[in-house]
Amino acid sequence: MKFLKTMQKRIILISIYFIAFTFAAQIFANPGGDDDFNKGITVSPSHVNFNVDPGNMAVKKIKVSNYTDKTQKFNVVYNDFDISKDGKSSFLEPGTSDFSLSRFINISPTFIELGPGANQEVTLTVQVPSDPEMARAAWGVIVVEQVEEKKALDPGNETGKTIAFGITPTFAFGVWVYQNPSKVEDMHVDITNFMYEKQNENQFMMLKVENKGNGISFCKAYVEITNLDTGEQFTLGGKRYTILPGYERTFVFEPEARLQKGNYSAVGVLDYNSDEELVAAELEFKIE
């Protein structure tokens, strides 16, 4: 393990050397989407971030707007959520997750009725107890779900051998809520693997990271590549990512131009807003 000084931060350098090979990887995705994904109804914003320290409280609002020509009714409820390794999210009962926001958050109102062209704000209040152990992340999802009155069944050509069912389609919006205290007790993100992959004609650099702390990490990741035969250098990525505590993510970087045959050195860098360090992994690989 080698250490370098960069931007007044300590870089942890992990060296991995291997010949290029094919590796299938799972890509962790953070929940998200457009605010206005259902024509005529909007809920904004789609993500809400709190930074409440123990013993404090904060209030934020989401806005529900009805641009349809009829009155719309909505229930506003809280759920925990989990994310699988392939990036798919699933809703859980409040209080189920180890990082549940349910015990800190209050929603008002929990039912709204909007006439055509009307809008209303929903208040989200997060209050954290004055306990040092509460200096950890929490999250959940606010679900704004349409309430549709049941319609009378129309039996139509119903006979004695058929049964008529009434199905009323509804829609819902998810607002992802994250609470990350400004003084998180344990902020610790590691690179667990760094690799070059070739799939058919496509080339990728893949950086696998894990959040081993108890705070939400808003990090920046990029890869610097050097052709050891020609000295040519270039950088991939530079995007910002979110990693929840206890989760892994694989960042995928694709070169704009195809890497030619030869020997290469690459450094994958992860800046997770630590005051003390950047984390980096060094890789040497050969394209034949």
3-state secondary structure 39-102: CCEEEECCEEEECCCCCCEEEEEEEEEECCCCCEEEEEEEEEEEECCCCCEEEECCCCCCCECC
Range from 140-144, 218-222, 223-227, 229-233 carrying the lowest mean pLDDT: 218-222
Digit-coded pLDDT (tens) for 88-112: 777 889 999 889 999 999 999 999 9
Q: Which two tokens stand for residue 226?
A: 């050097």
Instruction: Give the chain's domains with CATH numbers.
Output: 2-29+186-287 (2.60.40.10), 42-179 (2.60.40.10)
242 against 146, higher pLDDT: 146
Q: What is the pLDDT of residue 160?
A: 55
Q: What is the pLDDT of residue 183?
A: 81
Task: State pTM to two decimals.
Answer: 0.70
Query: Can the peptide bond before residue 45 be classed as cis, meaning omega within 30 degrees of 0?
Result: yes
- Based on its alpha-carbon atoms, the radius of gyration of the chain, rounded to whole angstroms, reads 24
The one-letter code for the residue type at 250 is: T
Cα(164)–Cα(214) distance, rounded to whole angstroms?
Answer: 52
Q: State the average pLDDT over residues 53-65.
A: 97
